[in-house]
Structure 1
Amino acid sequence: MAKRGYHHGNLRQALVDAALGLIEEKGPAGFTLSEAAKQAGVTPAAVYRHFEGREDLIAEAARQGYEIFADLLDYAYASGKPSALAAFEATGRAYLAFANRYPGHYVAMFESGISIHRTPDLHAVATRALGVLEQAATELSQHIPPEKRPPPQMFAAHVWAMSHGVVELFARGSPGTKSPFPPEDLLESGIGIYLRGLGLVPPDD
Protein backbone atom coordinates (compact mmCIF):
# COMPACT_ATOMS: atom_id res chain seq x y z
CA MET A 1 0.00 0.00 0.00
CA ALA A 2 1.31 3.47 -0.80
CA LYS A 3 2.15 5.56 2.21
CA ARG A 4 -0.43 8.31 2.50
CA GLY A 5 1.62 10.57 4.74
CA TYR A 6 0.94 13.59 6.89
CA HIS A 7 0.46 16.77 4.90
CA HIS A 8 -0.62 20.37 5.38
CA GLY A 9 -0.80 20.13 9.16
CA ASN A 10 -4.01 18.06 9.13
CA LEU A 11 -2.80 15.17 11.27
CA ARG A 12 -6.30 14.16 12.37
CA GLN A 13 -7.50 13.61 8.80
CA ALA A 14 -4.23 11.96 7.80
CA LEU A 15 -4.80 9.39 10.54
CA VAL A 16 -8.39 8.79 9.41
CA ASP A 17 -7.22 8.30 5.82
CA ALA A 18 -4.55 5.89 7.00
CA ALA A 19 -7.09 3.96 9.05
CA LEU A 20 -9.43 3.72 6.06
CA GLY A 21 -6.68 2.19 3.95
CA LEU A 22 -5.80 -0.29 6.69
CA ILE A 23 -9.47 -1.18 7.19
CA GLU A 24 -9.77 -1.96 3.49
CA GLU A 25 -6.62 -4.06 3.59
CA LYS A 26 -6.89 -5.82 6.96
CA GLY A 27 -10.36 -5.23 8.33
CA PRO A 28 -11.37 -3.09 11.32
CA ALA A 29 -9.74 -5.40 13.86
CA GLY A 30 -6.61 -6.14 11.84
CA PHE A 31 -4.50 -3.06 12.45
CA THR A 32 -3.00 -1.15 15.34
CA LEU A 33 -2.71 2.53 16.13
CA SER A 34 1.01 2.21 15.54
CA GLU A 35 0.35 1.03 11.98
CA ALA A 36 -2.03 3.93 11.38
CA ALA A 37 0.58 6.35 12.71
CA LYS A 38 3.24 4.84 10.47
CA GLN A 39 0.98 5.16 7.41
CA ALA A 40 0.33 8.79 8.34
CA GLY A 41 4.06 9.41 8.78
CA VAL A 42 3.99 10.32 12.49
CA THR A 43 4.96 8.69 15.76
CA PRO A 44 2.42 6.55 17.67
CA ALA A 45 2.38 9.10 20.49
CA ALA A 46 1.09 11.75 18.10
CA VAL A 47 -2.13 9.78 17.56
CA TYR A 48 -3.25 10.46 21.12
CA ARG A 49 -3.40 14.18 20.52
CA HIS A 50 -6.53 13.53 18.46
CA PHE A 51 -7.89 10.07 19.34
CA GLU A 52 -8.22 8.21 22.63
CA GLY A 53 -7.64 4.85 20.94
CA ARG A 54 -8.21 2.71 17.86
CA GLU A 55 -11.98 2.52 18.32
CA ASP A 56 -12.16 6.31 18.57
CA LEU A 57 -10.27 6.54 15.28
CA ILE A 58 -12.59 4.01 13.59
CA ALA A 59 -15.62 5.87 14.94
CA GLU A 60 -14.43 9.04 13.22
CA ALA A 61 -13.95 7.11 9.97
CA ALA A 62 -17.52 5.81 10.37
CA ARG A 63 -18.84 9.31 11.05
CA GLN A 64 -17.25 10.64 7.89
CA GLY A 65 -18.65 7.65 6.01
CA TYR A 66 -22.15 8.38 7.21
CA GLU A 67 -21.76 11.98 6.04
CA ILE A 68 -20.94 10.77 2.54
CA PHE A 69 -23.63 8.08 2.72
CA ALA A 70 -26.33 10.53 3.81
CA ASP A 71 -25.39 12.96 1.04
CA LEU A 72 -25.50 10.18 -1.57
CA LEU A 73 -28.89 8.96 -0.37
CA ASP A 74 -30.20 12.52 -0.35
CA TYR A 75 -28.95 13.11 -3.89
CA ALA A 76 -30.39 9.81 -5.11
CA TYR A 77 -33.73 10.56 -3.50
CA ALA A 78 -33.88 14.03 -5.07
CA SER A 79 -32.85 12.69 -8.49
CA GLY A 80 -35.82 10.32 -8.52
CA LYS A 81 -38.42 12.99 -7.87
CA PRO A 82 -41.19 13.72 -8.64
CA SER A 83 -41.91 9.97 -8.84
CA ALA A 84 -42.10 8.54 -5.32
CA LEU A 85 -41.37 5.07 -6.72
CA ALA A 86 -38.29 6.19 -8.66
CA ALA A 87 -37.00 8.13 -5.66
CA PHE A 88 -37.42 5.11 -3.40
CA GLU A 89 -35.67 2.74 -5.81
CA ALA A 90 -32.83 5.23 -6.31
CA THR A 91 -32.00 5.20 -2.61
CA GLY A 92 -31.54 1.43 -2.75
CA ARG A 93 -29.16 1.70 -5.68
CA ALA A 94 -27.24 4.43 -3.85
CA TYR A 95 -26.53 1.95 -1.05
CA LEU A 96 -24.75 -0.37 -3.46
CA ALA A 97 -22.90 2.49 -5.08
CA PHE A 98 -21.64 3.69 -1.71
CA ALA A 99 -20.40 0.24 -0.68
CA ASN A 100 -18.52 -0.14 -3.96
CA ARG A 101 -16.95 3.31 -3.96
CA TYR A 102 -16.15 3.70 -0.26
CA PRO A 103 -15.32 0.22 1.08
CA GLY A 104 -13.23 1.48 4.00
CA HIS A 105 -15.98 3.76 5.21
CA TYR A 106 -18.58 1.03 4.67
CA VAL A 107 -16.68 -1.45 6.83
CA ALA A 108 -16.07 1.15 9.55
CA MET A 109 -19.80 1.91 9.60
CA PHE A 110 -21.30 -1.55 9.39
CA GLU A 111 -18.68 -4.18 10.21
CA SER A 112 -16.48 -2.67 12.92
CA GLY A 113 -18.82 -3.17 15.86
CA ILE A 114 -18.76 0.57 16.57
CA SER A 115 -22.16 1.71 17.82
CA ILE A 116 -23.77 4.71 16.17
CA HIS A 117 -24.43 5.90 19.73
CA ARG A 118 -20.72 6.15 20.49
CA THR A 119 -20.72 9.92 19.91
CA PRO A 120 -23.52 12.47 19.41
CA ASP A 121 -22.10 13.48 16.02
CA LEU A 122 -21.99 9.88 14.78
CA HIS A 123 -25.54 9.25 15.94
CA ALA A 124 -26.81 12.46 14.35
CA VAL A 125 -25.41 11.77 10.90
CA ALA A 126 -26.42 8.09 10.95
CA THR A 127 -29.95 9.19 11.85
CA ARG A 128 -29.88 11.66 8.95
CA ALA A 129 -29.01 8.86 6.52
CA LEU A 130 -31.82 6.64 7.76
CA GLY A 131 -34.13 9.64 7.65
CA VAL A 132 -33.70 9.89 3.87
CA LEU A 133 -34.86 6.29 3.45
CA GLU A 134 -37.77 6.86 5.82
CA GLN A 135 -38.83 9.98 3.92
CA ALA A 136 -38.77 8.06 0.64
CA ALA A 137 -40.78 5.25 2.27
CA THR A 138 -43.28 7.71 3.74
CA GLU A 139 -43.99 9.31 0.38
CA LEU A 140 -44.29 6.00 -1.42
CA SER A 141 -46.53 4.47 1.25
CA GLN A 142 -49.11 7.19 0.68
CA HIS A 143 -50.17 5.12 -2.34
CA ILE A 144 -51.18 2.23 -0.04
CA PRO A 145 -54.59 2.20 1.69
CA PRO A 146 -54.10 3.23 5.33
CA GLU A 147 -55.32 -0.11 6.68
CA LYS A 148 -52.65 -1.94 4.64
CA ARG A 149 -49.85 0.57 5.06
CA PRO A 150 -46.76 -0.55 7.01
CA PRO A 151 -45.04 2.02 9.24
CA PRO A 152 -42.49 4.00 7.19
CA GLN A 153 -39.74 2.95 9.59
CA MET A 154 -40.50 -0.70 8.89
CA PHE A 155 -40.71 -0.01 5.17
CA ALA A 156 -37.30 1.69 5.20
CA ALA A 157 -35.77 -1.00 7.43
CA HIS A 158 -36.83 -3.74 5.02
CA VAL A 159 -35.14 -2.06 2.08
CA TRP A 160 -32.05 -1.21 4.15
CA ALA A 161 -31.80 -4.87 5.20
CA MET A 162 -32.26 -6.07 1.62
CA SER A 163 -29.61 -3.67 0.34
CA HIS A 164 -27.20 -4.63 3.11
CA GLY A 165 -27.71 -8.33 2.43
CA VAL A 166 -26.97 -7.98 -1.27
CA VAL A 167 -23.83 -5.96 -0.50
CA GLU A 168 -22.56 -8.39 2.12
CA LEU A 169 -23.25 -11.57 0.17
CA PHE A 170 -22.59 -10.61 -3.42
CA ALA A 171 -21.12 -7.12 -3.86
CA ARG A 172 -18.02 -7.33 -1.66
CA GLY A 173 -16.50 -10.60 -2.79
CA SER A 174 -17.37 -12.63 0.31
CA PRO A 175 -15.54 -15.99 0.22
CA GLY A 176 -17.60 -18.83 -1.23
CA THR A 177 -20.45 -16.66 -2.42
CA LYS A 178 -21.25 -16.02 -6.03
CA SER A 179 -24.37 -14.96 -7.86
CA PRO A 180 -25.07 -15.39 -11.59
CA PHE A 181 -26.66 -11.94 -11.51
CA PRO A 182 -25.16 -8.50 -10.92
CA PRO A 183 -25.82 -7.12 -7.40
CA GLU A 184 -27.74 -4.21 -8.90
CA ASP A 185 -30.13 -6.61 -10.64
CA LEU A 186 -30.57 -8.66 -7.49
CA LEU A 187 -31.48 -5.60 -5.48
CA GLU A 188 -33.79 -4.14 -8.13
CA SER A 189 -35.70 -7.39 -8.53
CA GLY A 190 -35.90 -7.87 -4.75
CA ILE A 191 -37.29 -4.39 -4.23
CA GLY A 192 -39.71 -5.00 -7.10
CA ILE A 193 -41.03 -8.17 -5.47
CA TYR A 194 -41.39 -6.38 -2.15
CA LEU A 195 -43.23 -3.42 -3.66
CA ARG A 196 -45.41 -5.72 -5.75
CA GLY A 197 -46.46 -7.48 -2.58
CA LEU A 198 -47.57 -4.12 -1.18
CA GLY A 199 -49.53 -3.37 -4.35
CA LEU A 200 -47.21 -0.53 -5.37
CA VAL A 201 -45.98 -2.19 -8.56
CA PRO A 202 -48.34 -3.82 -11.09
CA PRO A 203 -48.10 -7.64 -11.25
CA ASP A 204 -46.19 -9.22 -14.14
CA ASP A 205 -48.27 -10.09 -17.18
Structure 2
Amino acid sequence: MSEAPEQVGGKPGYHHGDLRNALIEAALGLAREGGPDAVVLRAAARQVGVSPTAAYRHFAGQGDLLFAVKERGQQELADSMEAAASTEPGRDGPAVERRLIAMGWGYVDFALRQPGLFRAAFCGAPEAVPELEPDSTGNLCPAGGAPAQFRSFDLLVEVLDELAASGRMAAERRAGAEVAAWSAAHGLATLLLDGPFAPLAREQRDAMIEQVLSTLAAGLTAS
Protein backbone atom coordinates (compact mmCIF):
# COMPACT_ATOMS: atom_id res chain seq x y z
CA MET A 1 0.00 0.00 0.00
CA SER A 2 1.43 3.39 -0.98
CA GLU A 3 2.13 5.99 1.65
CA ALA A 4 -0.46 8.79 1.76
CA PRO A 5 0.90 12.28 1.08
CA GLU A 6 1.00 14.65 4.01
CA GLN A 7 -1.92 17.07 3.93
CA VAL A 8 -1.69 20.79 4.57
CA GLY A 9 -3.64 22.67 7.20
CA GLY A 10 -6.17 19.94 7.82
CA LYS A 11 -7.48 20.18 4.24
CA PRO A 12 -8.94 17.06 2.63
CA GLY A 13 -5.73 16.99 0.64
CA TYR A 14 -4.60 14.81 -2.21
CA HIS A 15 -6.02 11.32 -2.71
CA HIS A 16 -5.45 10.44 -6.36
CA GLY A 17 -2.40 8.25 -5.92
CA ASP A 18 -0.13 9.83 -8.56
CA LEU A 19 1.32 12.79 -6.75
CA ARG A 20 4.22 13.32 -9.14
CA ASN A 21 1.95 13.93 -12.13
CA ALA A 22 -0.39 16.06 -10.04
CA LEU A 23 2.53 18.27 -9.06
CA ILE A 24 3.63 18.55 -12.70
CA GLU A 25 0.10 19.56 -13.73
CA ALA A 26 0.06 22.20 -11.01
CA ALA A 27 3.49 23.44 -12.09
CA LEU A 28 2.32 23.63 -15.70
CA GLY A 29 -0.48 25.91 -14.55
CA LEU A 30 2.04 28.08 -12.74
CA ALA A 31 4.21 28.25 -15.87
CA ARG A 32 1.27 29.19 -18.07
CA GLU A 33 0.44 32.05 -15.74
CA GLY A 34 3.91 33.34 -14.94
CA GLY A 35 6.58 31.57 -16.99
CA PRO A 36 9.50 29.56 -15.58
CA ASP A 37 10.08 31.91 -12.64
CA ALA A 38 6.62 31.00 -11.31
CA VAL A 39 7.42 27.27 -11.14
CA VAL A 40 8.06 26.88 -7.41
CA LEU A 41 7.84 23.46 -5.77
CA ARG A 42 6.17 24.78 -2.63
CA ALA A 43 3.57 26.62 -4.69
CA ALA A 44 2.79 23.48 -6.68
CA ALA A 45 2.48 21.48 -3.44
CA ARG A 46 0.15 24.10 -2.01
CA GLN A 47 -2.09 23.94 -5.08
CA VAL A 48 -2.30 20.16 -4.89
CA GLY A 49 -2.96 20.32 -1.15
CA VAL A 50 0.08 18.46 0.18
CA SER A 51 3.07 19.48 2.25
CA PRO A 52 6.44 20.43 0.71
CA THR A 53 7.84 17.32 2.40
CA ALA A 54 5.51 15.14 0.34
CA ALA A 55 6.49 17.00 -2.83
CA TYR A 56 10.21 16.51 -2.15
CA ARG A 57 9.68 12.76 -2.20
CA HIS A 58 9.06 13.08 -5.95
CA PHE A 59 11.34 15.96 -6.94
CA ALA A 60 14.86 16.62 -5.73
CA GLY A 61 14.20 20.35 -5.81
CA GLN A 62 12.70 23.20 -7.76
CA GLY A 63 15.05 22.65 -10.71
CA ASP A 64 13.89 19.06 -11.02
CA LEU A 65 10.26 20.17 -11.23
CA LEU A 66 11.14 22.91 -13.71
CA PHE A 67 12.83 20.37 -15.97
CA ALA A 68 9.63 18.28 -15.98
CA VAL A 69 7.68 21.39 -16.99
CA LYS A 70 10.28 22.14 -19.67
CA GLU A 71 9.82 18.67 -21.17
CA ARG A 72 6.03 19.01 -21.17
CA GLY A 73 6.30 22.44 -22.77
CA GLN A 74 8.43 20.93 -25.53
CA GLN A 75 5.86 18.19 -26.05
CA GLU A 76 3.03 20.72 -26.42
CA LEU A 77 5.12 22.82 -28.79
CA ALA A 78 5.74 19.77 -31.00
CA ASP A 79 2.04 18.89 -30.86
CA SER A 80 1.20 22.38 -32.14
CA MET A 81 3.69 22.01 -34.98
CA GLU A 82 2.35 18.57 -35.92
CA ALA A 83 -1.25 19.76 -35.88
CA ALA A 84 -0.40 22.68 -38.18
CA ALA A 85 1.64 20.49 -40.52
CA SER A 86 -1.19 17.94 -40.80
CA THR A 87 -3.21 20.49 -42.78
CA GLU A 88 -0.76 19.98 -45.69
CA PRO A 89 -0.62 16.19 -46.15
CA GLY A 90 0.74 16.01 -49.70
CA ARG A 91 4.13 14.47 -50.53
CA ASP A 92 5.08 16.42 -53.66
CA GLY A 93 7.60 19.25 -53.41
CA PRO A 94 5.14 22.18 -53.22
CA ALA A 95 3.09 20.40 -50.53
CA VAL A 96 6.18 19.72 -48.44
CA GLU A 97 7.15 23.39 -48.75
CA ARG A 98 3.68 24.40 -47.57
CA ARG A 99 4.03 21.93 -44.70
CA LEU A 100 7.30 23.57 -43.65
CA ILE A 101 5.57 26.96 -43.57
CA ALA A 102 2.59 25.51 -41.67
CA MET A 103 4.96 23.95 -39.14
CA GLY A 104 6.54 27.37 -38.59
CA TRP A 105 3.08 28.80 -37.99
CA GLY A 106 2.45 26.09 -35.41
CA TYR A 107 5.68 27.03 -33.66
CA VAL A 108 5.01 30.77 -33.50
CA ASP A 109 1.31 30.28 -32.74
CA PHE A 110 2.16 28.14 -29.71
CA ALA A 111 4.48 30.87 -28.42
CA LEU A 112 1.74 33.48 -28.76
CA ARG A 113 -1.00 31.29 -27.25
CA GLN A 114 1.12 29.93 -24.41
CA PRO A 115 3.85 32.51 -23.73
CA GLY A 116 4.56 31.34 -20.20
CA LEU A 117 4.89 27.70 -21.18
CA PHE A 118 6.89 28.59 -24.29
CA ARG A 119 9.41 30.47 -22.17
CA ALA A 120 9.56 27.54 -19.74
CA ALA A 121 10.14 25.13 -22.64
CA PHE A 122 13.41 26.92 -23.44
CA CYS A 123 14.51 27.98 -19.99
CA GLY A 124 17.74 26.87 -18.38
CA ALA A 125 17.37 23.70 -16.35
CA PRO A 126 19.86 21.65 -14.32
CA GLU A 127 19.66 18.63 -16.62
CA ALA A 128 22.20 18.47 -19.43
CA VAL A 129 20.93 19.32 -22.90
CA PRO A 130 22.26 16.88 -25.51
CA GLU A 131 24.88 18.49 -27.72
CA LEU A 132 24.21 18.70 -31.43
CA GLU A 133 26.88 17.83 -33.96
CA PRO A 134 26.97 17.41 -37.75
CA ASP A 135 26.40 13.90 -39.08
CA SER A 136 28.09 12.46 -42.18
CA THR A 137 25.90 14.62 -44.45
CA GLY A 138 26.45 17.83 -42.45
CA ASN A 139 23.01 17.82 -40.82
CA LEU A 140 22.78 18.41 -37.09
CA CYS A 141 21.87 15.51 -34.82
CA PRO A 142 22.30 14.64 -31.11
CA ALA A 143 25.90 13.84 -30.22
CA GLY A 144 26.64 10.17 -29.73
CA GLY A 145 23.34 9.12 -31.27
CA ALA A 146 21.41 10.07 -28.14
CA PRO A 147 17.70 10.74 -28.66
CA ALA A 148 16.96 14.41 -29.28
CA GLN A 149 15.56 16.24 -26.29
CA PHE A 150 13.37 18.41 -28.48
CA ARG A 151 10.80 16.63 -30.65
CA SER A 152 10.19 19.98 -32.34
CA PHE A 153 13.74 19.75 -33.70
CA ASP A 154 13.11 16.21 -34.96
CA LEU A 155 9.98 17.37 -36.80
CA LEU A 156 11.89 20.19 -38.45
CA VAL A 157 14.67 17.85 -39.58
CA GLU A 158 12.11 15.42 -41.02
CA VAL A 159 10.30 18.03 -43.12
CA LEU A 160 13.59 19.46 -44.40
CA ASP A 161 14.74 15.97 -45.37
CA GLU A 162 11.45 15.52 -47.24
CA LEU A 163 11.95 18.86 -48.96
CA ALA A 164 15.39 17.81 -50.17
CA ALA A 165 14.22 14.32 -51.17
CA SER A 166 11.39 15.81 -53.23
CA GLY A 167 13.89 17.86 -55.23
CA ARG A 168 12.25 21.10 -54.11
CA MET A 169 15.39 22.05 -52.17
CA ALA A 170 18.84 21.67 -53.70
CA ALA A 171 20.98 19.08 -51.93
CA GLU A 172 23.73 21.62 -51.23
CA ARG A 173 21.27 23.74 -49.25
CA ARG A 174 20.21 20.93 -46.91
CA ALA A 175 23.24 21.02 -44.59
CA GLY A 176 22.50 23.44 -41.76
CA ALA A 177 19.04 24.34 -43.05
CA GLU A 178 17.53 23.38 -39.70
CA VAL A 179 19.63 26.08 -38.03
CA ALA A 180 18.28 28.78 -40.35
CA ALA A 181 14.69 27.57 -40.06
CA TRP A 182 14.72 27.16 -36.28
CA SER A 183 16.43 30.51 -35.78
CA ALA A 184 13.88 32.28 -37.97
CA ALA A 185 10.84 30.81 -36.22
CA HIS A 186 12.22 31.14 -32.70
CA GLY A 187 13.63 34.60 -33.25
CA LEU A 188 10.34 35.83 -34.67
CA ALA A 189 8.38 34.30 -31.79
CA THR A 190 10.66 36.02 -29.28
CA LEU A 191 10.40 39.39 -31.02
CA LEU A 192 6.62 39.12 -31.05
CA LEU A 193 6.48 38.15 -27.38
CA ASP A 194 9.14 40.30 -25.75
CA GLY A 195 10.56 42.55 -28.45
CA PRO A 196 9.57 45.60 -30.48
CA PHE A 197 6.93 43.67 -32.45
CA ALA A 198 4.86 42.86 -29.36
CA PRO A 199 2.48 45.86 -29.77
CA LEU A 200 1.51 44.93 -33.33
CA ALA A 201 -2.15 44.42 -34.10
CA ARG A 202 -3.13 40.86 -34.98
CA GLU A 203 -3.43 41.52 -38.72
CA GLN A 204 0.03 43.11 -38.80
CA ARG A 205 1.47 40.29 -36.73
CA ASP A 206 -0.03 37.56 -38.94
CA ALA A 207 1.22 39.30 -42.08
CA MET A 208 4.71 39.45 -40.59
CA ILE A 209 4.67 35.76 -39.66
CA GLU A 210 3.58 34.79 -43.16
CA GLN A 211 6.22 37.00 -44.76
CA VAL A 212 9.07 35.65 -42.62
CA LEU A 213 8.11 32.00 -43.11
CA SER A 214 7.45 32.40 -46.82
CA THR A 215 10.78 34.19 -47.30
CA LEU A 216 12.55 31.40 -45.41
CA ALA A 217 10.94 28.72 -47.58
CA ALA A 218 11.66 30.67 -50.76
CA GLY A 219 15.32 30.97 -49.80
CA LEU A 220 15.64 27.27 -49.07
CA THR A 221 14.00 26.28 -52.35
CA ALA A 222 15.53 28.92 -54.64
CA SER A 223 16.98 27.46 -57.83
Q: What runs of 5+ residues in structure 2 fail to find an aligned partner?
A: 1-12, 131-145
What is the aligned partner in structure 2 of residue 144 from structure 1?
169
Number of residue equivalences:
189
The offset of 1:159, in angstroms, is 2.0
Q: What runs of 5+ residues in structure 1 fail to find an aligned partner?
A: none
The offset of 1:40, in angstroms, is 1.7
Residues 21, 104 of structure 1: 8 Å contact kept: no
- Worse-matched range after superposition: 51-60 or 157-166: 157-166
Instruction: Tell me the distance in 2 between the aligned counterparts of 1:7 and 1:188.
Output: 48
Instruction: Tell me the distance in 2 between the aligned counterparts of 1:100 and 1:62.
Output: 17
What is the aligned partner in structure 2 of residue 19 from structure 1?
27
Residues 80, 87 of structure 1: 8 Å contact kept: yes
Residues 160, 174 of structure 2: 8 Å contact kept: no
Identity percentage of aligned residues: 32
Residues 31, 120 of structure 2: 8 Å contact kept: yes
Instruction: Tell me the distance in 2 between the aligned counterparts of 1:31 and 1:66.
Output: 16
Q: 1:98 to 1:198 in 2, by over 3 A?
A: closer
Instruction: Tell me the distance in 2 between the aligned counterparts of 1:176 and 1:84.
Output: 29
What is the aligned partner in structure 1 of residue 111 from structure 2?
99
Residues 77, 90 of structure 1: 8 Å contact kept: yes
Residue type matched to 1:109 in 2?
A: A
Residues 137, 156 of structure 1: 8 Å contact kept: yes
Residues 71, 121 of structure 2: 8 Å contact kept: yes
Residue type matched to 1:168 in 2?
A: T
Query: Which residues of 2 match residues 1-205 of structure 1 at below 5 A?
Result: 6=14, 8-30=16-38, 32-82=40-90, 83-110=95-122, 112-114=123-125, 117=128, 124=147, 126-141=149-164, 142-147=167-172, 149-151=173-175, 154-170=176-192, 172=193, 177-179=198-200, 182-200=204-222
Residues 32, 114 of structure 2: 8 Å contact kept: no
- Match of 2:23, SS? helix
Where is the helix percentage greater, Structure 1 or Structure 2? 1
TM-score normalised by structure 2 residue count: 0.71
Residues 99, 167 of structure 1: 8 Å contact kept: yes
Instruction: Tell me the distance in 2 between the aligned counterparts of 1:137 and 1:59.
Output: 28
Residues 170, 221 of structure 2: 8 Å contact kept: no
The offset of 1:87, in angstroms, is 0.9
- Match of 1:52, SS? coil
What is the aligned partner in structure 1 of residue 134 from structure 2?
none
Instruction: Tell me the distance in 1 between the aligned counterparts of 2:185 and 2:77.
Output: 13
Q: 1:7 to 1:187 in 2, by over 3 A?
A: farther
